[in-house]
Amino acid sequence: MAFPRGLVAREARQGSALLALYRLDAVMAACARLERGEGEALHDFRVALRRLRVVLRVYRDVLGGKAVRKAGRRARRVARATASARDAEVSRRWLESWERRLRSEHQGGIEALRRHMADRSPAEAARAVDEARADFLALEAELRPALTDRAARGGEGKAFGPVSARLVGRTARRLRRALDTVEAADQDVRVHRARIAGKRLRYLLEPFASRSADCRRALGALRHLQETLGSVHDLNLFIDAVARCARKEVGAWSTKLVRTAAGKGVQGDEAAGRDERDPAPGLVRLASLAGRQRSLLFGRYKVKWEAEEAGRVFHGVEALLRALAEPAVAPAPDGAAAVGEGQPRPDPVQEAPRGGLGPAVVGDLEDRGPEVPAGGEERPNARPLEVPGEERPGATPVQQGDGEAVVVGRAGRPRRARGGQGPERAEAGTGAAHRQDGDPARA
């Protein structure tokens, strides 16, 4: 389904309403699949809902009106209602990927963690998803008329393109600031905030992918950032689940062990050795595996992002901002070719694979060893983004050479930003085909 035609040249409120309706239709399609119980439908529903939320949030002042603001808040509540089911599924897949590495003495920890993650029955989880779907349908019934009214009326205000340039530039600067705060893999609040900022920028860029090859390359780099930081975040959630399980299960097991030893008059270590259900060894081993993979993934993110992908993203954003600042062309009439939007894109950009890089890829990283020295590397100073037509105090000109952005390499020496070959292969939105390694499902 193509984006609305002539979007850039439309009046800002009309263009943002058309984009929101496009995203709303995508959520409705995923909602119908969710009602039919199709595989991967919950993931697709969450992804489509997230894209809608980004439009409602970023363009809320352009769209205006209480109905739009209220819909944004309700959409957030719907997303949160389905989060626990998604987190539990991701943790279960990580656990399944590690089972083959564990020995018999670890089975007690595996079973304890399974019990801990199954606090909600499948019926309760399904009921929560059904309630979230019903809440969204009520939201859609109120939001669609408001958006349709705005989309039907043109205006004399600024065009959608220049307004979007300002909002995209602001979002890119927020991503840069969020990434600058991430110093370690276990800083999950910062990791999650940076990941969300990257998603927000990616979803804002998607409607303009056909306008710039640099923009498409930026989308590919943002997708990889989302995969990597998403896997780090999922592993942090898994480690938290193991810690909670240990507080509950190991304490109960220790109490049982004491009573067993006292009742039978044997040594504590003898009592422990007679039962392989002790959860402590397995939980410790699982935490160790998760922590090692988290460190390796974070090290790869530091190297790859700072060496090439940061320059690719921000150079692509700057190229798009310049393109959007150009004089707008009137929307094409019905049946005519559109200006950029609505045409097939050379490099389609789909949602990142659920589960990021996945346990199989991370396992392969383990064989290679860490790729960054202990303590990591210092993040090079990044130059500010410039939005055409917008002045900011302290802003510095974009440094360029022969039309290419110049960034600072990891060794502190200037180098040209590597443009790459565009986004990596597009992933199927429903996707099993792209998950070659049993990635945990991450929405």
pLDDT of residue 412: 37
By mean pLDDT, which of 92-101, 197-206, 368-377 is the weakest?
368-377
Residue 49 pLDDT > 90: yes
Average pLDDT over residues 3-29: 93
By mean pLDDT, which of 64-73, 180-189, 192-201, 292-301 is the weakest?
64-73
Q: What are the pLDDT digits (tens) for 82-137?
A: 887 778 788 888 888 888 888 888 888 888 888 887 766 677 777 888 888 899 99
Sign of CA dihedral 42, 164, 347, 362: negative
Strand 404-408 relative to strand 414-416: parallel, antiparallel, unpaired? Answer: antiparallel
Integer Cα distance of 198 and 229 in angstroms:
10
Amino acid at 327: P
Query: 420: phi > 0 → left, psi -120 to 50 → alpha, else beta; which?
Result: left
Between CA 304 and CA 21, with CA 43 as vertex, the angle to 5 degrees is 100
Q: What are the pLDDT digits (tens) for 323-372?
A: 887 644 444 444 433 333 443 333 333 444 444 444 433 333 333 333 33
pLDDT of residue 387: 44
Half-sphere exposure of 388 (CA within 13 A, CB side): 16
Q: What are the pLDDT digits (tens) for 281-316?
A: 888 888 899 999 999 999 999 998 888 889 999 999
Integer Cα distance of 411 and 400 in angstroms:
19
Percent of the chain with pLDDT over 90: 37
Give the chain's domains with CATH numbers.
12-92+103-416 (1.40.20)
More confident residue, 159 or 261: 159
Residue 370, CA distances (Å) to 126, 304, 397 in order: 41, 13, 37
pLDDT band at 263 (very low <50, low <70, confident <90, very high): low
45 in helix, strand or coil?
A: helix
Average pLDDT over residues 278-282: 83
Average pLDDT over residues 174-200: 94
Residue 379, CA distances (Å) to 176, 178, 222, 226 in order: 11, 13, 18, 19
User: What length does the chain have?
Assistant: 443
pLDDT of residue 121: 65
Integer Cα distance of 214 and 369 in angstroms:
33
